[in-house]
Chains A and B, each alone.
Chain A
Amino acid sequence: METLIGLLVAAPLLGAAVLLCGGRRLDRTGHWIGTALAAASFLLGAVLFADMLGREAEDRTLSQHVFSWIPVGGFQADVAFRLDQLSMTFVLLITGVGTLIHVYSIGYMEHDERRRRFFGYLNLFLAAMLLLVLADNYLLLYAGWEGVGLASYLLIGFWQHKPSAATAAKKAFIVNRVGDIGLSIAIMIMFTTFGTFAFSPVLESVGGTSEGTATAIGLMLLLAACGKSAQVPLQSWLGDAMEGPTPVSALIHAATMVTAGVYLIVRSGAIFDAAPAAQTAVVTVGAVTLLFGAIVGCAKDDIKKALAGSTMSQIGYMVLAAGLGPIGYAFAIMHLVTHGFFKAGLFLGAGSVMHGMNDEVDMRRYGGLRKYMPITFATFGLGYLAIIGFPGLSGFFSKDKIIEAAFAKGGTEGWILGGAALLGAAITAFYMTRVMLMTFFGEERWRNAPTPSPKEPSVEPAAETGGEYEVPHPHESPKSMTVPMIVLAFGSVFAGGLFSWGEAFVHWLEPVVPFEHGHPPVSALTVTAATVVALLIGVGAAWLQYGRKPVPALAPRGSLLTRAARRDLLQDDFNHVVLVKPGEYLTRGLVYLDHKVVDGAVNGTAAAVGGLSGRSRRIQNGYARSYAVSMLGGAAVLVAATLLMRAV
């Protein structure tokens, strides 16, 4: 069985290699090859899962040592895998959702001349992501970590001819690299402290080191998680990442890659348990981000960017839960999985809407679409109910548990965190209802030509139609797209209930992810009731604003907060002023300095040595004779050196 683990990674890697090196002759079949290999990986995962279920709960971890990667002195990095309940959960999520999105992309990317390459990148992503969750040591995890970063870079910038896409891709990679500093340093501290960076020995010997060291490692891992999972303060890349094709947004920037930070924290639970200060940092980041993302999500008119804000916010919930320790780890992962279903479904729905609407993303140009795309409406609607936490659906179970755990943290901290999580739930209900109403209900605003606005270039008449407005013909998407949406909708509806049945999910993870029951200061039922009330308030407020009144074709000016939220709460402005501008000045200053000062000094010396540069110009005149002369000159230097020797 162990040998199958390597194949899990190898199958999509092979796909990537074949598709990217195969050339044009694979243009016709490439997408089938890519999809088949993704599916093969899923099947392998299913076989391993069945095998795992056949063994005792304590005896389910499989490990496979493939080869010695970097052996230098005490530094022993291996290519070795570890498949336990935690990584198994991810394997099924990644390959399952991954395969569905491959299928969806067959239809979505049908008219793209570079479809083969798209599937190659998707396969590359799967391989890297599987490497990330299957690695048995932090260095190999790092390889997967950067590998998914590369795939994300390539896919965000897939339409490279668009300058905005190229810029967004670069930004994502660079912001992630800032996070990678954290992972690098964490590994270095581990190696210095423990002489190893493999999971088991590090996590088992955390007790032997000081709290200070554990805190340092924890904070560095948190920095890494912030980069990959778009948490404050490294969140700024995720909104721009929506430049990528929508299936990419669904797979990488919603369901899987962006949750890697949560995986990292939960996997490293023993380190955080030994470092309360680091845990406080984790819950703070989570609580701030869940509100940050939700507020941004309320103000966006671009459907994908609204969903991106939501992703940030939902991952904020997971990070919050992961920072709570054993009372939250399992729920972080549970929410991660249910979120994987409903958010991927929502993004695929958004893609389906765009597909039928000439790639329009502005929700002010939608309206009343439920009649034209009933399947998309139904699946998107179920995803919507799941994410707002409608009782009985997936999101309800997983989010409610996180809110309970937040309160159970205890003390003032517990009240603050629980309150933030509740408030987040209300805002989630608000912005998701807003998306739902603006897209599928109300007036069919797309029938009218867009109102030109000097401030919003996106609603100006498209240049390619020469100013003439072409009314879109919204239609349902082909089967290859709707079937994955239906499957994901099933997950959105039932997964949460299934997982919570007799705490099945918690018990499944328990041998590798420690679990304790949290005890909120008020009864669990009260918390649930409060969550439902928050939900109703959010939905009601959105209905008052977007359901009862018509949606204006142009965004109103809005309050200061709305305007700030439209600009992602000024994150880019902040980065620009604090990092980009000073960096530019520094670079320019140094270029000047290098040229004028360091180099200028040399120029002066050279001139002083005897106008050599003037004389040597003659060397360049192309006559062999002067080459010979200078060759002689060079040789003379050597002779002089030897003579000098004799003189000593």
Chain B
Amino acid sequence: MSFPLLTAVAALPAIGAVATAAVPAARRTAAKWLALAVSLATLVLAAVVAFRFDPGGDRYQLTESHTWIADFGVRYELGVDGIGVALIALTALLIPFVVLAGWHDADPVEEEAAPGRRWRPTQGFFALILAVEAMVVISFAATDVFLFYVFFEAMLIPMYFLIGGFGDRAGARDEAEAAKQRSYAAVKFLLYNLAGGLIMLAAVIGLYAVTADQLGEGTFSLRAIVEARASGELTMAQNTERLLFLGFFLAFAVKAPLWPLHTWLPNAMGESTAPVAVLITAVVDKVGTFAMLRFCLGLFPEASAWATPVVLVLALVSIIYGALLAIGQRDIKRLIAYASISHFGFIILGIFAMTSQGQGGATLYMVNHGISTAALMLVAGFLISRRGSRLIADYGGVQKVAPVLAGTFLIGGLATLSLPGLAPFVSEFLVLVGTFTRYPAAGIVATFGIVLAALYVLVLYQRTMTGPVRPEVERMPDLRKRELAVVAPLIALLVLLGVFPKPLTDIVNPAVEHTLSDVQKTDPDPEVEAAK
């Protein structure tokens, strides 16, 4: 048996989480370095996964399969296609930056740090981040529906504590009020996702019942079910398939999040620290859109086609609504959260356009949105930590005193508005083109999003960075070395993937072709055979 590489990518941060949590209270700094080392080692392992993966090879590679709960046919089954590889790579890539950016976010305030206290927030913070990483990796690699479900739900627990337990330093705000807001956001996050998860659980059980009924013995194996459906061994009644689809889709639409199930996101991203906000939107939420692509389309192709019109409309609403709400925000982090809602609309639009450009673009979008939002949000976090306020109106003229901070913030913003030359342009344009070829009206409506994106990004930049220097920001220091070490590589990646995305598209394209054949769709042919 070959080395269980995928398990290792998940196990390493899991073990790291336990080890980090166990570091004695007095050795806070050691815990940080440990967490950083573990996340970097995980990145190396993820890179090995990416290099071992052969885009021209089997659909699922690096597979592992073991019996878990034999009674119910639950297996510990892992395997990745190109989409999974891209997202595991994204996760492993972002975590070190999250750790580094959150270096001081969980330092205990003085009375907590007093000798004799055994409270270890720092250790907890970094351990929880690593725990989330482990669970997300398993979710991206699981090809057993139940296994996926368990980790899809389990990651709520560490996320709940990360959101509710750690916030920005209150600064001018009332500490008690801030704690209340934080707690509200955490509970809201939990309730929403738990509700979605419970509906999914019912659908998971239903799926088991269907397979048990038709195949003789029940199974949760994605690959087995897809094969059985393709060969005609397994057929689902129309209504059953649609109900099961809805059960899965709802859970993923909460996580993604899709309008009108989005309202937990601005609270969660607003109240948590910037690195945790990145963890939410750039990493955890991607499990939702990824699962739509892998599970909804793979398991329920006909129901997916049935739901497409409604999903497309909801995606369009998300794009426009999210962007308009972003324009109306007064809080920097909430603005970025609403921008993300708009971007998730693009991702879902691309998935359900059912073209190779749409789905390939959606996959690239997941990766690129992760990197660009990380860049923008982390710089915003650095800014907020300097002034102790999230309100846009409390800033002005920052570029004069901190030009590097302002410059990197602008680049993050330009990536968010999908400027050509930066990675998000590639994915956004692919989604638009892929949608247009099949649904021209939807493609045109979505295109209006590019103007709104320019508005919310540039208005944010103008109000915070330009104009006369406000007295409160006069002494603001520019980016420190640690902060620059976070931002510079992210920007370099944005440029690299914007100019030369081919390595990524090479990995993703075959996987998208497989997904399209699951739903039995082919790209529309051009109207005219163009001269060459």
A binds B: yes
A interface residue numbers (CB < 8 A to B) = 20, 67-75, 139, 142-143, 146-147, 150, 153, 157, 160-163, 165-167, 170, 173-174, 177-178, 180-181, 184-185, 187-189, 191-196, 200-202, 204-205, 208-209, 213, 586-588, 590-591, 594, 598-599, 602, 605-606, 609, 612-613, 616-617, 619-620, 622, 624, 627, 630-631, 634-635, 637-638, 641, 644-645, 648
Cα distance, A594 to B263, chains bound together (Å): 8
Is B77 part of the contact surface with A, judged by Cβ < 8 Å? no
Known: A205-B530, A627-B165. A192 touches B440 (CB 8 A): yes
Of the candidates B153, B360, B400, B469, the one whose C-beta lies within 8 Å of that of A73 is B360
Of the candidates B182, B465, B530, the one whose C-beta lies within 8 Å of that of A195 is B530
Is B173 part of the contact surface with A, judged by Cβ < 8 Å? no
Can you name 23 A-B pairs with beta carbons within 8 Å?
A67-B500, A67-B502, A69-B500, A69-B502, A70-B502, A72-B509, A73-B509, A157-B466, A160-B465, A166-B467, A174-B455, A177-B451, A184-B429, A184-B450, A187-B433, A192-B526, A192-B527, A195-B525, A208-B528, A594-B325, A602-B188, A602-B192, A617-B179
- B531 engages A201 (CB within 8 Å): yes
Contacts of B154 in A (CB 8 A): 638
Is B421 part of the contact surface with A, judged by Cβ < 8 Å? yes
| B521 → A minimal CB distance (Å) | 12
Known: A622-B119, A648-B205. A634 touches B160 (CB 8 A): yes
Of the candidates A68, A73, A196, A620, the one whose C-beta lies within 8 Å of that of B530 is A196
| B47 → A minimal CB distance (Å) | 23
Q: Which residue of B has the minimal Cβ distance to A71? A: B505
Is B447 part of the contact surface with A, judged by Cβ < 8 Å? yes
| A97 → B minimal CB distance (Å) | 24
Q: Which 6 interchain pairs have the tightest Cβ spacing?
A: A195-B526, A73-B356, A166-B466, A143-B420, A587-B328, A634-B157
Known: A170-B459, A174-B451. A620 touches B179 (CB 8 A): yes
- A192 engages B436 (CB within 8 Å): yes
Cα distance, A617 to B176, chains bound together (Å): 10
| A195 → B minimal CB distance (Å) | 3
Is B183 part of the contact surface with A, judged by Cβ < 8 Å? yes
Cα distance, A204 to B532, chains bound together (Å): 9
Contacts of B526 in A (CB 8 A): 74, 191-196
Cα distance, A605 to B360, chains bound together (Å): 38
Cα distance, A619 to B186, chains bound together (Å): 11
- Kindly identify, within residues 142 to 176 of chain B, every residue whose CB is under 8 Å from any CB belonging to chain A: 150, 153-154, 156-157, 160-161, 164-165
Contacts of B324 in A (CB 8 A): 586-587, 590
Bitwise interface map of B from 502 to 532 toward A, beta carbon under 8 Å scored 1, else 0? 1001000100100000000001111111111
Cα distance, A185 to B432, chains bound together (Å): 9
Contacts of A587 in B (CB 8 A): 324-325, 327-328
Of the candidates A71, A194, A619, the one whose C-beta lies within 8 Å of that of B164 is A619
| A322 → B minimal CB distance (Å) | 24
Q: Which residue of B has the minimal Cβ distance to A114? A: B403
- A181 engages B184 (CB within 8 Å): no
Cα distance, A192 to B433, chains bound together (Å): 8
- B530 engages A202 (CB within 8 Å): yes
- A72 engages B419 (CB within 8 Å): no
Contacts of B191 in A (CB 8 A): 602, 605-606, 609, 612
Contacts of A606 in B (CB 8 A): 187-188, 191
| B450 → A minimal CB distance (Å) | 6
Is B113 part of the contact surface with A, judged by Cβ < 8 Å? no
Known: A617-B179, A622-B112. A188 touches B187 (CB 8 A): no
- B447 engages A72 (CB within 8 Å): no
12 more A-B contacts (CB under 8 A) besides A69-B499, A631-B161? A143-B425, A150-B419, A191-B433, A193-B526, A194-B528, A208-B528, A587-B324, A602-B191, A617-B183, A620-B180, A627-B124, A641-B201
Known: A146-B419, A599-B263. A161 touches B397 (CB 8 A): yes
- A616 engages B467 (CB within 8 Å): no
- A177 engages B450 (CB within 8 Å): yes
Q: Which residue of B has the minimal Cβ distance to A170? A: B458
Q: Which residue of A has the minimal Cβ distance to B320? A: A590
Cα distance, A392 to B433, chains bound together (Å): 50
Is B437 part of the contact surface with A, judged by Cβ < 8 Å? yes
- B161 engages A184 (CB within 8 Å): no
- A72 engages B420 (CB within 8 Å): no
